[in-house]
Amino acid sequence: MADATTRKEQPKAADEGEELTDGFHLVIDALKLNGLTTIYGVPGIPITDFGRMAQAAGIRVLSFRHEQSAGYAAAIAGFLTRKPGVCLTVSAPGFLNGLTTLAHATTNCYPMIQISGSSEREIVDLQQGDYEEMDQLAIAKPLCKAAFRVLHAADIGIGLARAIRAAVSGRPGGVYLDLPGKLFGQVMNAEAGKKSLVKVIDPAPAQIPAPDAVKRALDVLKSASRPLIILGKGAAYAQADAAIKTLVETSGAPFLPMSMAKGLLPDLHPQCAGAARSTVLKDCDVVLMIGARLNWLLSHGKGKSWGEAPKKFIQIDIEPKEMDSNVEIAAPLVGDIASCVAALIEGMGGNWPKPPAGWINTVTGKRDENVAKMAPRLMNNNSPMDYHGALGALRTIIKERPDTILVNEGANTLDLARGIIDIYQPRKRLDVGTWGVMGVGMGQAIAASVETGKPVLAIEGDSAFGFCGMEVETICRYGLPICVVVFNNDGVYRGTDVNAAGADPATTAFVKGARYDKMMEAFGGIGVQAETPDALKQAVAKALASGKPTLVNAVIDPAAGSESGRIGNLNPQSALKKK
């Protein structure tokens, strides 16, 4: 009967003089060959040595306190760089901690590869109770775009090539790569190993739209009397910034940026209709969607928010199945955004008719009215702060330092910051994405800093921050120029709820008067307590100028927020009266 030691394959004995390599080094070499030089992860069996060796080989290996933050970092690194962000985890629990983020990457169309070590296949498959036993490949498969396992060192090169291509080609997404512990120790001839590696050629090939589809799209756009362009985060991902600007300006149409597309054209651009959202959605007659989907964030393209006026949709998306997902798409334009936008610009020629002045005046009139209405609220210096006063201060900070990357999560903290803080440059606003997931903040802030070298300002609800707050140690450890502002209103949505039935606190309330700034101080960073918008502004300006890891505990009136921020309507209601 085989015991555990005889089950393990013994490394192949080297022939005299034969140069060998192993699984550890083949994975490292394959990553480097493909320009994947940053790993976000958490160490442990069976990938601890791999992390050390990768670091020694020049890969930047950032160790986090929890895989979820490492995974959110990898996911947003993919968004920012158009290369798959790599997250490295241990087996079963580490794998599962990362998996939420892999699913999140897939939902948001960010290219990411989660590499997890896994336990002995022979034992896992017979369910004999191995250390951290789990059939990880089977579990990952339905939650990501593709999932692969490599069993032989000679297949590492091809395995990683498949993972990269799956992550970035077509609609990007999350890929799972399962590397059993034993694989790392397998040895093979070094020369044969080198030859087995694959440098992926043209990993995200251009997908040129069909000429007929381009003509159809232009015909529909030309027929518009009240055109609208909606920019999604796909448009931001495409890094076709100049072409998108040309298209928008040539069309003369008002544009509406989705949250993470803000800044693709500056929010203060004369055609920006961000502050007239309800008017443009209701009254437009033709909508050109660029890398945006008609999901819940756009009320599925129908219903009250879209008004009575009939609409025609033109949609640019690389995924043909996206078309007609919610309403009829009159002009589907399937292809990559850069190619589609270039084809539209070419077809528009030099004298594309501008939209009727009446439409433009209606939109700018409404926008200016809304902006003027909001202005005085942003200038209050109340203590405790309300959201508008605090965000008014931070809005000025971003205006003064438009290259700062803004990370944002929470409910009120998210919804109000999105509306209030203008963004001036592409890919400078990162947030919760399609799922509205809490806990992305610190991972995104860390990756944004590491990948771009830009200063980062993370505006976090106190609940949102709680999902990832331990990563302030990671921020301090790597000395990253990140300023975290915690909007501390003592709870989820508000800090004022009381439990009518007993002694326990209400389900949405936290410890009152908590000092999140002390968490940053605990690891050698700078902590500040800010009770007025002026103090907040001063603290953040100082933090961004110094580049020192800073956490500002911004004291927000616990009564200032509203249930679920701007999406309270999504809470289920019963026909029975609430008790």
Ligand X SMILES: Cc1ncc(C[n+]2csc(CCOP(=O)(O)OP(=O)(O)O)c2C)c(N)n1
392 binds ligand X (CB under 6 A): no
Write down the least CB distance from residue 29 to Mg ion, Å. 46
**Residue 463 or 474 having the CB closest to Mg ion:** 463
Which DSSP category does 456 fall into? E
411 binds ligand X (CB under 6 A): yes
Give the span between the Cα atoms of 364 and 424, in whole angstroms.
Answer: 19
Q: Which listed option, Mg ion, ligand X, none, makes contact with residue 411 (CB within 5 to 8 Å by class)? A: ligand X
Strand-by-strand arrangement of the 405-409 sheet: 429-431, 405-409, 456-461, 482-488, 550-555, 526-530
Using CB atoms, what's the residue nearest to ligand X?
A: 461
**Residue 230 or 411 having the CB closest to ligand X:** 411
Q: How many residues lie near ligand X (CB under 6 A)?
A: 18
Nearest Cα to Cα of residue 248 among 284, 226, 268, 272: 272
Which of 439, 469, 481, 549 is in the footprint of ligand X by CB under 6 A? 439
Write down the least CB distance from residue 495 to ligand X, Å. 8
Q: Which listed option, Mg ion, ligand X, none, makes contact with residue 436 (CB within 5 to 8 Å by class)? A: ligand X
Q: Which listed option, ligand X, Mg ion, none, makes contact with residue 68 (CB within 5 to 8 Å by class)? A: none
**Residue 344 or 483 having the CB closest to ligand X:** 483
431 binds ligand X (CB under 6 A): no
Number of other residues whose CB lies within 10 A of the CB of residue 420: 17
What is the four-CA torsion angle of 102, 103, 109, 114, rounded to 10 degrees?
A: 20
Q: Which stretch binds ligand X (CB under 6 A): 39-47, 145-153, 171-179, 431-439?
A: 431-439
What's the token pair of residue 127?
Answer: 């369910």
449 binds ligand X (CB under 6 A): no
Write down the least CB distance from residue 421 to Mg ion, Å. 18
Q: Which listed option, ligand X, Mg ion, none, makes contact with residue 464 (CB within 5 to 8 Å by class)? A: ligand X
What is the four-CA torsion angle of 397, 398, 402, 408, rounded to 10 degrees?
A: 140
Q: Which stretch binds ligand X (CB under 6 A): 64-72, 352-360, 460-468, 527-535?
A: 460-468
Give the span between the Cα atoms of 215 and 348, in whole angstroms.
Answer: 10
Give the span between the Cα atoms of 235 and 318, in whole angstroms.
Answer: 11
Q: Which listed option, Mg ion, ligand X, none, makes contact with residue 335 (CB within 5 to 8 Å by class)? A: none
Residue 83 CB-density burial (10 A; 0-12 exposed, 13-18 middle, 19+ buried): buried
Strands 20-22 and 187-189: antiparallel
Give the span between the Cα atoms of 62 and 77, in whole angstroms.
Answer: 13
* x/- letters, 485..504, toward ligand X (CB under 6 A): --x-x--xx-----------
Encode 265-275: b = buried (16+ Cβ within 10 Å), e = exposed: bbbebebbbbb
Beta bridge pairs of residue 63: 41
Q: Which listed option, Mg ion, ligand X, none, makes contact with residue 565 (CB within 5 to 8 Å by class)? A: ligand X
With residue 51 as reference, give the H or E element that holds it: helix 48-56
438 binds ligand X (CB under 6 A): yes
Residues of this chain that bind ligand X (CB under 6 A)? 410-413, 436-439, 461-464, 487, 489, 492-493, 561, 565
